Amino acid sequence: MSAVSDTAPLRLGIAGLGTVGIGVVKIVQRHADLLAARAGRPVEITAVSARDRTKNRDADLSSYAWEDDAVTLAQRDDIDVFVELMGGHEGPAKDATEAALKAGKDVVTANKALLAHHGQALAELAESLGRTIRYEAAVAGGIPVIKTLTEGLAGNGIRRVMGVMNGTCNYILTRMEDAGLPYDTVFEEARALGYLEADPNLDVGGIDAGHKLAILASIAFGTQVAFEDVTLEGIGRISIDDIRRAGDMGYKIKLLGVAQMTGRGLEQRMTPCLVPATSPLGQLTGGTNMTVLEGDSVGQIVLRGAGAGEGPTASAVMGDVMDLARGLRLPVFGQPADKLEAPTPAVTAIPAPYYLRLQLSDKPGALAKVATVLGEAGVSISRMRQYGHADTSAPVLIVTHKTTRDAIDAAIDALPATRVVEGEPIAIRIEEV
């Protein structure tokens, strides 16, 4: 839709005054003249809503109307854009977003869970009413990946989307490596630092990042959001030994999201993967996010930046607000929502090499038995490394040639019968980047 000429102030109603909400307030207050110059019209906050009026939020809110109920805020006549920063995919966030659209407001949100679970219905509602939903802040914090896909790469057929989309998981994995600490220790450290969600499994279980991947896949491949089809595996089983030994073989372990359209259907995975240590993803440290986009014309591009925090996320919110102030409206997922079809989920992933870690008994012919089981499952060995003995067993690392997860699982299921493998084998996909 084309831009419109309008010099009247764009009036915001902000629901949710946590870290991001206050970050938005500070930007509007600090850069009022700059925003007006860039948008061609003033951008103002007229009303806000949060659960506790008395909380000290380190910002002057005295000039804004206050609503205790987010739905009431969404319906006010003196706001043009409803900024939803409450979080949660049910309850007030969903109710207020629907109310805002029905009241003729556009919506800007940072709520990935809301869009992952209800994005299709909300997009259809918005577009049927001539409204839109903007959500740059919902995926990868300050990285403009939504805008890149919907605008900058609009002339490309997208081949693959992948990335590290949860800064907490990347912090844990790189901290384990740098400090030589086990997972449980670093997990508690991250909790003490406030890096984890109230439900930590949203982070370390891959759910938060899976929400983001499902949104990106919808835009990239022109399908309805299908979070329920994302294969999820968290980082809880990754040991410091896996990290060290992957490093010995030239790899880093990342919680990596990958989405690609294949002849088998749409593949969406948010799982631990090995990536080459020399690749951009392999060199990513700390709480930083990175998305890698591959287009048929542009090739591969890499976007890197802060994935969370007051400034980066508020910056993304304001990018969306500024587009609306300029009159720019696009379909919510890049194409009209009523034209999007539910994707066919890929039953099996594209073949790839795998890293296998086995604890092998010190018995004659043990390696031969393992090799036989792998061969019978259709898995061939590319590289193998055996470490020093600990008592009566020793760790063995195997890098396979390209194979399927089904073949790997079949081999793992058959290994106990050899009576030479102790404990549970670990298998991690190696992603080519």
- The conformation of residue 338, written as its DSSP 8-state character, comes to G
Q: Rounded CA gap, 319 and 31, in Å?
A: 13
Task: Compute how many other C-beta atoms are within 10 angstroms of the C-beta atom of residue 247.
Answer: 15
Is 102 one of the annotated active-site residues of the chain? Answer: no
As given in the structure block, the two tokens for residue 89 are 């995919």
In the numeric block, the tokens 């099996």 are attached to 348
| Cα–Cα distance measured from residue 12 to residue 107, given in angstroms and rounded to the nearest whole number | 10
φ, ψ of residue 375 to 5 degrees: the values are -60, -40
Cα angle vertex 198, ends 15, 98, to 5°? 30
SS3 of 209, please?
helix
Cα→Cα distances 362→117, 369, 385, 386, 388, Å: 50, 12, 15, 11, 11
Q: How far apart are CA 201 and CA 315, in angstroms?
A: 27
Q: Are 257 and 213 in contact (CB under 8 A)?
A: yes
Distance (Å, rounded) from C-alpha 217 to C-alpha 274? Answer: 21
Catalytic residue among 94, 105, 112, 212: 212
For residues 152 and 293, the answer to whether their CB atoms sit within 8 Å is no
Phi, psi of 316 (to 5 degrees): -65, -40
Distance, CA of 192 to CA of 365 (rounded, Å): 48
Find the angle CA(255)-CA(260)-CA(266) to the nearest 5 degrees: 110
Query: Comparing C-alpha atoms, which of 402, 269, 237 is closest to residue 345?
Result: 269
Query: How far, in Å, CA of 329 to CA of 133, rounded?
Result: 9
**Rounded CA Rg of the chain:** 24
Instruction: Find how far residue 278's CA is from the centre of its chain.
Output: 22
Catalytic residues: 212
